[in-house]
Amino acid sequence: MESIVTESRPQTKKSPKATALATTIAAKKIVIHRAGGYEQLKVEKAELPAVGPDDVLVEVRAAGVNFADTSIRLGLYASAKEQVGWPITPGFEIAGLVLAKGEKVGDLELGERVMGLTLFGGYATHVVVKRNQLFRLPDSLSFEQGAAIPAVFLTAWFALYELAHPRPGSTALVHSAAGGVGSSLVQILKIRGVNVVGVVGSSHKVDAVRNLGADHVIDKSKQDLWAEAERIAPNGYDLVLDANGVETLKQSYEHLRRAGKLVVYGFHSMMNKSGGSGNANWFKLVSGFLRTPKFSPLEMTNDSKSVLAFNLSYLYDRIEMLEAGMTAISDWLAKGLIVPPTVTAYPLDRAGDAHRDIESGKTIGKLVLVMPS
C-alpha cells in the first residue's frame, strides 16, 4: 500500500527511525479509491510515511473536515484530481504530536504538540508534512480545536489581508457566517474594526454568529436576505465574502458600493446537498455553471467594483505567505482576540457521518475526525 504523502512528489527512502517505528505502530488512513458516496471513505492499514530531511512525522490526534473534502470524494475537486488522482486520502489540516523529524528540523522536539496544513492526506493516524507547514499548538487548545484552525483561519486571513484589505469602519457582508471559514471571517473582520453583517441559513445559528461579534445577523430562513441587507446598509457594502456560488454571486456583486470588493472562495450551492448516493448531480452542476455570472472587466471598471477569488489548495508553494498568516493567527489566539470554531468530533471510522452532516448545511463551526487510540 502506498505511503501517506501530503504533496505530489516522489517517495524517498525511509529513514532508519521511520523504519523502526513502522515495526511497532499500526498506522491507518481513510482511502477513497473512486468517486462515490459515503461508503467510499474506507479505513485501511497504511505504511508509515517516509521522512525526508525537511519533514516532520506527526502522530495525528485530530483532523479537520472541510466542505471541499466532500467534493474530493465526489471527484469534483480540481486540485485533488490534478495533484493526486485516485486513490486519495482527503484532509487539509491536522493536530497531533511530533513523532519523528528529518535531520534539518532542529526547532521542534519529539512529543511536541503541533497543528498544521496538509495538501490532502489529513484523514490519517500518521502524516508527514514539511516543517514550514507546522505550527506549535497552544497549551490552551485541545487537539480537536487545533485541527479546526489552520485551513479555515488561513482562508479567512488570505481573503482579508492579501486580497480585500478592509478599512476600519467599513461594512462587510459574510455569507455562511456560522461555518468554519465564515466564523473565522467574522472574528478577523472585528479585529480590523469592520462592521459585520453575518448571513445564516437557520435560526439556531443566529446566536453563535452574534457571540462572535457580528453587528447584525440575517436569518435567511425567516428574512428576505437582500431586503434585509439593503435595510442594514442602504448605500451598499464595502466587502462581500461569498462561497455560495450561483445562488448569491450576482446579488452579492450588485450590493457592493463604489470601490467595493467581492471575494469568492467557493461554490457550495452548485454541489450536492446530500452525496449519499455518490452520484454527482450533473444537471445541477451544469445549470449552476451556466447561471454563474460572468464579470466583465469593462463593466467592473465602470462600476468601480472588484471581484477577487482564490483556492487555498493552490497556494501551498507560497511559504512566506502561509507563515505570515499562521503567525498572525497564533498571535491572535494567544491574546484571546479569536477563538477556535465550535467543534463537533467524530471517530475516524465515522468519516461518512461527518461528510453527511457538513453537506446538510445544518452544522455550526467545524467538524473534526478523532483518531483511534
Task: Specify the higher pLDDT residue, 277 or 220.
Answer: 220
Same domain, 159 and 295: yes
Same domain, 92 and 216: no
pLDDT, tens digit (0-9, with 9 covering 90-100), for 346-359? 999 999 999 999 99
Residue 23 pLDDT > 70: no
Band of residue 257 on the pLDDT scale cut at 50, 70, 90: very high
Do 370 and 347 meet the contact criterion of CB atoms below 8 Å apart?
Answer: yes
* Distance in angstroms (rounded) separating the CA atoms of residues 174 and 213: 12
For range 54-78, the mean pLDDT: 95
Band of residue 287 on the pLDDT scale cut at 50, 70, 90: low
Same domain, 203 and 215: yes
pLDDT at 298: 93
Residue 335 pLDDT > 90: yes
Range of the domain at 364: 16-149+341-370
Band of residue 301 on the pLDDT scale cut at 50, 70, 90: very high
Residue 192 pLDDT > 80: yes
Rounded to 10 degrees, what is the CA torsion of 357, 136, 213, 313? -50
pLDDT at 283: 54
Band of residue 280 on the pLDDT scale cut at 50, 70, 90: low
* Distance in angstroms (rounded) separating the CA atoms of residues 326 and 133: 9
* Distance in angstroms (rounded) separating the CA atoms of residues 97 and 330: 18
* Residue tagged 516522489 (cell numbers): 10
* Distance in angstroms (rounded) separating the CA atoms of residues 87 and 62: 22
Q: Beta strands of 15-54 (E only): which ranges?
A: 27-31, 42-46
Same domain, 76 and 123: yes
Same domain, 126 and 87: yes
* Distance in angstroms (rounded) separating the CA atoms of residues 309 and 86: 27
Residue 2 pLDDT > 50: no
Residues in the chain: 373
Same domain, 72 and 155: no
**End-to-end Cα, the chain, rounded Å:** 22
Residue 205 pLDDT > 60: yes
pLDDT at 5: 30
* Distance in angstroms (rounded) separating the CA atoms of residues 38 and 32: 10
Residue 9 lies in a domain: no
Percent of the chain with pLDDT over 70: 87
pLDDT at 245: 84
Q: Report the b/e string of 281-299 with b at 16+ CB within 10 A.
A: beeebeebeeeeeebeeee
pLDDT at 246: 82
Helices (H), 23-100: 67-73, 78-83
For range 232-241, the mean pLDDT: 98
What CATH number is attached to the domain comprising 83? Answer: 3.90.180.10
Task: Specify the higher pLDDT residue, 228 or 286.
Answer: 228
Band of residue 13 on the pLDDT scale cut at 50, 70, 90: very low
Number of domains in the chain: 2
What CATH number is attached to the domain comprising 169? Answer: 3.40.50.720
Residue 325 lies in a domain: no
Same domain, 184 and 306: yes
Percent of the chain with pLDDT over 90: 81
Q: Give the burial class of 70: count Cβ atoms within 10 A of its Cβ; 0-12 exposed, 13-18 middle, 19 or more buried.
A: buried
